Amino acid sequence: MSSDDSPRVEQATEEDSPITKNLWFWAILASLIVLPAMRPCSRRVAPPPPILGEVSEVVLLDQDGQDFGPERFRQKVLLTAFLGSAATEEGELLVRALQRLAEGMEIAPEPDFMGLIVVSLDPQNDTPSELKQLATELDIDPIFRTLLTGDPGDVSEFTEHMLGRKVELGPGVWNPQLVLVDDIGRIRGRYDVINDSEGLMESFARAERTARESWEGRRGGRRGARARLKAAEGRK
């Protein structure tokens, strides 16, 4: 059989690798480049995302060995990713997506209200000390990222709750979806940033919209408190 007639699966070479045949790869790579470039040029604000449920009550451990439970999800708007630290082609692509999201957050109008969570899908090997080392290799500003691990049973329960389905755990395992959680602990969306060519841009736009909701709500709360204080003083 000639090379021209061979099935595609038998033709993979260094010149014709699976990546070069994957059109989604190029679409996603383009979005990684476009995200930070387009952010200053577009002021379109995405509509508020729906409420899909509440954040898991499971308590995990961060890279410093500190408890990370639902109360810490209620401090800012968080995009949550799921992958093991063992290097894979798809996992590297997901890491690059997270790096681009962090770059977008740095120049967003409400950067203090946004962040990234990375949950290890290999908790058996990814101890807090391992995650601390990985954190230094991610090339993401520490202000925007937190890495989580824990008991395998807890990680499995947390992941299933957040993604809405059971996910395999183990070395090199990764998941293409990011889960958006608002600053009061509600799940607001799940976005495939690997297989959906618009998933990365969509996840960022929705996170930014949710952060703006949070910022405006808190600003309104402070203004309301000041107004009530002044009214009370006027009645004295």
Query: For the domain bounded by 17-218, which CATH number is listed?
Result: 3.40.30.10
pLDDT at res. 35: 52
Span of 71-75, 104-108, 170-174, 226-230 with lowest mean pLDDT: 226-230
CA neighbor of 167 nearest in space, from 1, 12, 69, 56: 56
What is the gyration radius of the CA atoms in the chain, in angstroms? 21
Task: Return the exposure string of 8-24: e unless at least 16 CB atoms fall within 10 Å of the residue's CB, then b.
Answer: eeeeeeeeeeeeeeeee
Q: Give the separation between CA 157 and CA 123, rounded to whole angstroms.
A: 12
Which pLDDT value is given to residue 128? 94
Q: Which residue carries 């577009």 as its tokens?
A: 42
For residue 225, pLDDT over 50 is answered with no
* More confidently predicted of 227 and 73: 73
Q: What type of residue is 115?
A: G
Sheet holding 174-181, edge to edge: 53-54, 186-192, 174-181, 77-83, 114-119, 145-149, 60-62, 67-68
Q: How far apart are CA 205 and CA 77, in angstroms?
A: 12
**Residues 106-122: tens digit of each pLDDT:** 887 777 789 999 999 99
Supply the pLDDT for residue 236: 44
Question: pLDDT of 200-219, one tens digit each?
Answer: 999 999 998 888 887 776 65
Give the pLDDT confidence of 20-47 residue by residue, as tens digits: 445 555 555 555 555 555 444 444 556 7
**pLDDT tens digits for 43-68?**
455 677 889 999 999 999 999 999 99
- At 87 the pLDDT is 66
Averaged pLDDT for residues 122-144? 87
Name the residue ranges covered by the structural domains of the chain.
17-218
Please check the confidence at residue 224 and state whether its pLDDT lies above 90.
Answer: no
- pLDDT tens string 146-180: 999 999 999 999 999 999 999 999 988 889 999 99
Can you tell me the distance from the alpha carbon of 234 to that of 62, in angstroms, rounded to the nearest whole number?
Answer: 49
Which of 226, 199, 219, 223 lies closest to 113, judged by CA?
Answer: 219
Tell me which of 99 and 25 has the higher pLDDT: 99
Nearest to 192 by CA among 165, 215, 155, 170: 165
